[in-house]
Structures are given as structure tokens and as C-alpha cells.
Amino acid sequence: MSTGTTGLPSKGVWLFPDSDAASLVRTVVAAESLGLDEIWLGDEGPGSRDPFSVLAAAATLTRTITLGVAVTNPYLRHPATIASTAMTLQELGAGRAVLGLGAGGELSLGPVHVQRDTPLATITGAIRTIRSVTAAEQGDGYSPPGHAFAAAVPLYLGARGEQLNRLASTSADGVFLGGIPFSMLDLTLSWATSVRQVDVALYVNAVFDADELDDIRPRLLHPFLDAPPVTHARLGLDPAQLAQAASDLHGGDDRRARRLMTDELAGDLVLVGSPREVGRQLAALARQYRPRHIGLSFLTAAPDHHLDEARAAFAALDEELVG
């Protein structure tokens, strides 16, 4: 899990593009000033802020923080375009970009009525195209033009199911595990490391105030909605009920989602406590799973308000691991 001479995982925050673009850029700048190692920005498709644009703006205002997209998908963006955009971000950030790729979820694909067909074949083909474009080499579906440039970009797969995590173990540089129930981490990581060891980025939801858990409870529906059948079976979740609750939620009615997201399910997805308590729980996860990257996600409208608390949690994490 070492990222350098300290032997500690790199630490950061995973943001969702809910805030306005300028606020997101300021959050990245503030995160660097507080000493965080990385920022990952989600791609929630049309209607949300574009992560590449936000990170490109942040790249010109920062010097050290890693800039990750977690995760974009080849259903809404052609893989060659994904590659070129990531390469441009890599240039702007002087080598600090990381590309997260996945099959997309209901939040990104649903509004434009795109079906997630043949995800394994689609992601496999996308990886090949992205590798060809970033290397400026001939490949399946790509013939580099005379002006093509090359720029290596680390490629992580972000997925919850077995097939794509096994694909990551054969074809990616790492896996981005976000929104995975704690009870599913052992199985998910066994898939992701089934062929070879790849870097692991483990990001978990957290709240530092128990009252805040009730505020975000309806939004916890989405990770479970996009979870694989094995997760639904293990946790006793009915996909039809999840889908209906999601439809209600999109229409402004959160009552069904709030009922479905019980304390037990919330506890399987969110760390709750003071920054020190959250840091200790992160340390336990780091000891067990040995990720190269570890971090926090906040499902609130203003995640920048939690950066100081995140820093305190990471200080407690380091103290636990070093001690």
C-alpha cells in the first residue's frame, strides 16, 4: 500500500459534480492547500458538471494534487474522445491525471435513455482503443493521424460487479472502488486481484454528524440500485423496489427511498463519527485491504465544507497506521 517512503496510502476526496463548476475548482485548490494527495471527480452525465472541464481548470491552479475522474463511461463518450480528453488533462496537469472508466450508472445513462448493453465487451473494447490512442499506435478501431501525440494516463476501472473487476485484474492499472458496501469488499477485491495485483483506490462515504446521515439517506439508494445481483441477493434487496424508489426520487418524492435505506443498509455504506473516529475506521480498512489510495466521499451539497474534517480524519488514519 506504499506510495512512497512513508509507506502510507495516498489520501483524498471523491466529489460529485453537484456544486457549480467554480466551487468545484475552488474545492480542488483548497484540498491541495490542506495537503490532500488527490481529488477524484465523478461523471454523472448530461445535466451535471463535466469532470474533465473542471479538472482542467483546476490543473492550471494547482501543482501537486492528483486529478482523477471516477468514473466516465464509453456509452456517452467515444473511447477515443475519452483518451484524447484525458491526455489533454495529463498535459495541463504535468502528469497528475488518472482516468477512471466504468460502464456507467443510472444517474448518468438514465436521463438520456441509454441502455448499458454488453458492458464487458464494451469496456474491453474501450480499454483497447484508449490504450492505442494514448500510445499513438495503430489498434482496433483506431489509426493515428499524422499529428497524433502520445501521453500515458493511468487507467483504473470503476465497477461493482464480478466481470469488470476481473477485467481490471487483467487489463487495467488499478481499480476504483467507491460506493461498495463494506460487507461486499472482500468479494469485490478478490475479483479485482484474481489474476494479478493492481493498484486499489478505496473510497468510502462518511458523515461527521449523525444528523447528516438522515439528510443523505435517500441518496444512498443509487449505489444499491447499480449494485450487481449478488449484492442484491446478499443484502435482501428487491431490484424492482429500488427502481421504483429511484423513479420517485427523480420526481422529487424521497419517501420510498428513505424507507428502503434502513439504518442497517446505511451502516453498510457510510462511516459515521467524529473525524478521529472516521480516521480510525479508515485505518482498519487500510490494514485489512492495503489500498494504494484511500479516501472519503461526501454526499452533501457542499463537500468543500468538510475538507478540514477530512484532513483531521486522515491525520488520525496516519497516526493509527504509523503507531
- Pair 164, 192 in one domain: yes
Maximum CA pair distance of the chain?
58
User: Is position 5 within any domain?
Assistant: no
Helix runs in 181-274, H state only? 185-192, 210-216, 221-225, 229-235, 239-250, 255-260, 263-267
Three-state secondary-structure class, residue 52: helix
CATH number at 36 reads: 3.20.20.30
Say whether both 175 and 261 belong to one domain. Answer: no
At residue 305 the predicted structure's pLDDT band, cuts being 50, 70 and 90, is confident
Same domain? 118 vs 265: no
pLDDT at 252 over 80: yes
183-199 confidence digits (pLDDT tens):
999 999 999 999 999 99
Check: CB of residue 36 under 8 Å from CB of residue 63: no
pLDDT-derived band at 1, boundaries 50, 70, 90: very low
User: Percent of the chain having pLDDT more than 70?
Assistant: 97
All three cell numbers of 20, joined, read 457549480
**Are residue 72 and residue 136 in the same domain, yes or no?**
yes
Q: At what angle do helices 119-135 and 162-171 cross, to 10 degrees?
A: 20
pLDDT exceeds 70 at position 4? no
Residues of the domain holding 278: 10-208+273-322
Question: Which DSSP letter does residue 64 get?
Answer: S
- One domain for residues 115 and 171: yes
Whether 288 is covered by a domain: the verdict is: yes
Phi, psi dihedrals of residue 293, rounded to the nearest 5° = -130, 140
Please report where in the chains the cell 445513462 appears, as a residue. Answer: 109
Q: What is the DSSP letter of 305?
A: G
In a domain, 3, yes or no: no
Residue 68 domain flag: yes
79-92 vs 51-59: helix crossing angle, rounded to 10: 20
Region of poorest pLDDT, from 106-120, 164-178, 221-235: 106-120
What pLDDT is stored for residue 301 in this prediction?
64
- Domain shared by 180 and 312, yes or no: yes
What pLDDT score does 12 carry?
A: 97
> How many domains is the chain partitioned into structurally?
2
21 plus 97 within the same structural domain: yes
Average pLDDT of the residues in 104-133: 93
Output the pTM of the full model: 0.94
| In a shared domain, residues 51 and 182 | yes
Is residue 4 in a domain?
A: no
Please give the mean pLDDT across all residues of the chain. Answer: 94
Whether residues 116 and 221 fall in one domain: no
Average pLDDT over residues 111-116: 90
